[in-house]
Amino acid sequence: MILFISLTITGCFSAREAEKTVLKKNTEKSDSISLKEGNITNYDFSVQKAEIELDINGEKQRFLASVKYEETGIYLVSLKSRSGIEAVRFYKDGDSVLINDRINKKYYYNSIENFPARYKTFLIALPLLFGDFIRNDENRFLNQCKNGIIEYVEQEYYIKTRYIIDCNLEKLKIAEVYSENEQDKIIFNYKKFANHGKVYYPEQIVIESKFNEMIIKINIDDIEFIETEGIKLIPGRNFEKVILK
């Protein structure tokens, strides 16, 4: 189902028990370095359970998901039915994207270098699913907060991102990702922040596409910060191999 969700999102442009306390920081400004230091993707973690609600034009579907992440940028995502039957397994590292579609018994694959341009928006924005700041350079931007927030816009590759940063939390409140022609956009809203030590993350994420009237609601129920070395995806037995394009 990560295939369906990810392609639906990107189609707009052609997914140890933490100590749950709210972060309070009395700060009047934030910068790109401190925001990136607070990214959950700086660490290995495992989301044991997340609930996903997909709403397209008022038609709702609900799924379960689990995620394993290695801080080198490796993702392994499993999407299941409410009854626990796995539908899709998605894998991404620095070189490739692999997907096991268990429903249709297909194994999708491609290299990052040859990945279709219309899907690269999803790969670039993937950390936004966890409320992480994806600014690439290390240049500081120090702005005085206005009404408790900082608004910042940047252009990276072929997408533009508008950030709304909570100065008190030093975390993203909203991220808006625009297509190359700026006619389409996806809005990420982050709510109910929790922390494990110095790592802060939203437990509720709402993703809204203005293009196809789609809303995805994600609730992270159980997350562990543990080593996740050796993440890999094994092709399904006798699955048809298909180049993702």
Per-residue pLDDT at 23 exceeds 50 = no
Over the chain, what is the mean pLDDT?
80
Among candidates 11, 12, 46, 6, which has minimal Cα distance to 196? Answer: 46
Report the distance separating Cα 219 and Cα 235, nearest Å: 29
pLDDT band, very low/low/confident/very high, at 27 (cuts 50, 70, 90): very low
> Smallest Cα–Cα separation from 171: which of 138, 210, 209, 130?
130
* Percent of the chain predicted with pLDDT > 70: 76
Q: Which helix (H) or strand (E) holds 204?
A: strand 199-209
Could you tell me the pLDDT band of residue 105, with boundaries at 50, 70 and 90?
very high
According to the model, what pLDDT value does residue 12 have?
Answer: 43
DSSP class of 113 = T
Q: Report pLDDT for 22.
A: 37
What was the pLDDT predicted at 107? 95
The residue segments making up the domain with residue 144 are 2-243
What string of DSSP letters covers 118-164? HHHHHHHHGGGGGT-----S--------BTTEEEEEEEETTEEEEEE
Q: Are strands 106-111 and 240-243 parallel, antiparallel or unpaired?
A: parallel
Phi, psi of 37 (to 5 degrees): -65, -25
Sequence-distant (6+) residues with CB within 8 A of 217 are 52, 53, 55, 204, 205, 206, 207
Stated as kind and residue range, the H or E segment containing 2 is: helix 2-10
Give the pLDDT confidence of 126-163 residue by residue, as tens digits.
888 899 987 655 445 545 678 888 888 887 666 788 88
- The pLDDT value given to residue 20: 39
Token couple for 227? 């080593």
CA distance 150 to 142: 9
Report the number of distinct structural domains present in the chain.
1
Specify whether the backbone of 26 is left (phi greater than 0), alpha (psi in -120 to 50) or beta.
beta
Residue 183 in contact with residue 6, Cβ under 8 Å? no
Could you read off the pLDDT of 175-219 as tens digits, one per residue?
998 866 666 788 999 999 998 887 789 999 999 987 677 899 999
**What's 237's domain CATH number?**
2.50.20.10
